[in-house]
């Protein structure tokens, strides 16, 4: 097995399809030693005013968006309780994770720190699904719909946000760092400089990056990050792990082999063990 653990997964009650116990059983059947569940932890006071909230509500995954920490914490307590019960009967190790959207405000830091004291996750994945632009929250679809000049500004802000999040020292690793690729943005050579600057910053912070194969689910043919960024990761010796970003049982471990081959082709050698990830997470938590 290329990697005997999978830590970036989602379950029902958030935006995944299957329950905690169904995900654990499938991972065990596939031969994994460890599964971690990392549902979305997204808290922003304006989240219900964002464009993307309406389609999320109609497609019934609005539960991932919270306007306050008081809303999200009970949801995670209930989820972690289900996870603990499922883990009791599991044949493999089960870890408590979260995929957290980073917002660089004193209110967010304060709320997040107190949430951590209550929830005590084993690791925290950093995601930047949104940028704050012109007084509102924008996701990658909003970026795709913007005019060329605004789009350029938004993408530059996105890369800056990744660097700020990495430097915060809060996170165990960075998720899908070139997420705007999801909507076809950022592939141009022009963005090589921003990517390079970002990967150097990640190396400086000693924060790992995931190679995320979950894009296939929505038609992205290659993993996050691109081969261009993978070569930068190799040059800077940034540690990596493989993530499936599974939102259902059948997505667990998907494309790990081909992603591993591509990463090696790009020169990546620094693949993390589970122990190293947990050691790193213990330092940040």
In terms of CB distance, is 100 or 234 closer to Zn ion? 100
Q: Which two tokens stand for residue 154?
A: 């938004």
- Closest contact distance (angstroms) between CB of 99 and Zn ion is 5
Residues of this chain that bind Zn ion (CB under 5 A): 99, 127, 245
Distance CA 195, CA 199 (A): 6
- Closest contact distance (angstroms) between CB of 10 and Zn ion is 6
In terms of CB distance, is 99 or 142 closer to Zn ion? 99
Q: Are 271 and 239 in contact (CB under 8 A)?
A: yes
Query: What region, left, alpha or beta, does residue 16 occupy, with left being phi > 0 and alpha being psi -120 to 50 degrees?
Result: beta
The closest alpha carbon to 185, from 214, 205, 158, 155, belongs to: 155
- Closest contact distance (angstroms) between CB of 129 and Zn ion is 6
In terms of CB distance, is 101 or 195 closer to Zn ion? 101
- Closest contact distance (angstroms) between CB of 243 and Zn ion is 8
In terms of CB distance, is 234 or 249 closer to Zn ion? 249
The gap between the terminal CA atoms of the chain, to the nearest Å, is 29
- Closest contact distance (angstroms) between CB of 89 and Zn ion is 25
Burial of 22 (0-12, 13-18, 19+ CB in 10 A): middle
- Closest contact distance (angstroms) between CB of 213 and Zn ion is 11
Distance CA 212, CA 139 (A): 19
Q: Are 185 and 144 in contact (CB under 8 A)?
A: yes
Distance CA 47, CA 39 (A): 17
In terms of CB distance, is 129 or 163 closer to Zn ion? 129
Q: Are 245 and 212 in contact (CB under 8 A)?
A: yes
- Closest contact distance (angstroms) between CB of 72 and Zn ion is 16
- Closest contact distance (angstroms) between CB of 126 and Zn ion is 10
Within 10 A of 227 (CB to CB), how many other CB atoms are there? 12
In terms of CB distance, is 99 or 255 closer to Zn ion? 99
CA 186 to chain centre: 18
130 phi, psi to nearest 5 deg: -135, 155
- Beta-strand relationship, 5-6 and 34-37: parallel
In terms of CB distance, is 20 or 234 closer to Zn ion? 20
In terms of CB distance, is 97 or 234 closer to Zn ion? 97
Q: Which two tokens stand for residue 283?
A: 């330092």
């Amino acid at each position: 097995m290329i990697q005997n653990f999978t830590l970036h997964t989602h379950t029902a009650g958030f935006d995944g399809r299957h329950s905690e116990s169904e995900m654990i059983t499938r991972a065990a059947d596939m031969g994994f030693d460890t599964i971690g569940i990392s549902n979305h932890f997204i808290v922003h006071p304006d989240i219900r005013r964002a464009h993307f909230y309406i389609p999320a509500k109609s497609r019934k995954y609005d539960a991932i968006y919270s306007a306050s920490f008081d809303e999200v914490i009970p949801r995670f307590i209930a989820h972690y309780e289900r996870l603990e019960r499922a883990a009791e009967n599991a044949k493999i190790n089960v870890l408590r994770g979260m995929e957290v959207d980073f917002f660089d405000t004193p209110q967010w830091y304060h709320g997040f720190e107190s949430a951590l004291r209550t929830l005590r996750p084993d690791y925290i994945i950093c995601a930047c699904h949104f940028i704050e632009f012109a007084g509102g929250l924008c996701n990658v679809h909003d970026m795709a719909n913007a005019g060329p000049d605004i789009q350029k500004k938004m993408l530059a802000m996105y890369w800056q946000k990744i660097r700020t999040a990495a430097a915060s020292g809060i996170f165990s690793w960075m998720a899908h760092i070139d997420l705007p690729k999801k909507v076809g943005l950022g592939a141009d050579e022009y963005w090589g400089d921003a990517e390079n600057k970002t990967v150097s910053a990640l190396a400086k912070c000693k924060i790992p990056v995931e190679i995320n194969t979950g894009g296939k689910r929505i038609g992205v043919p290659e993993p996050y990050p691109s081969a261009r960024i993978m070569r930068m990761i190799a040059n800077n010796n940034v540690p990596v792990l493989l993530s499936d970003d599974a939102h259902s049982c059948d997505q667990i471990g998907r494309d790990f082999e081909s992603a591993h081959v591509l990463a090696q082709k790009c020169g990546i050698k620094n693949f993390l063990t589970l122990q190293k990830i947990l050691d790193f997470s213990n330092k940040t938590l």
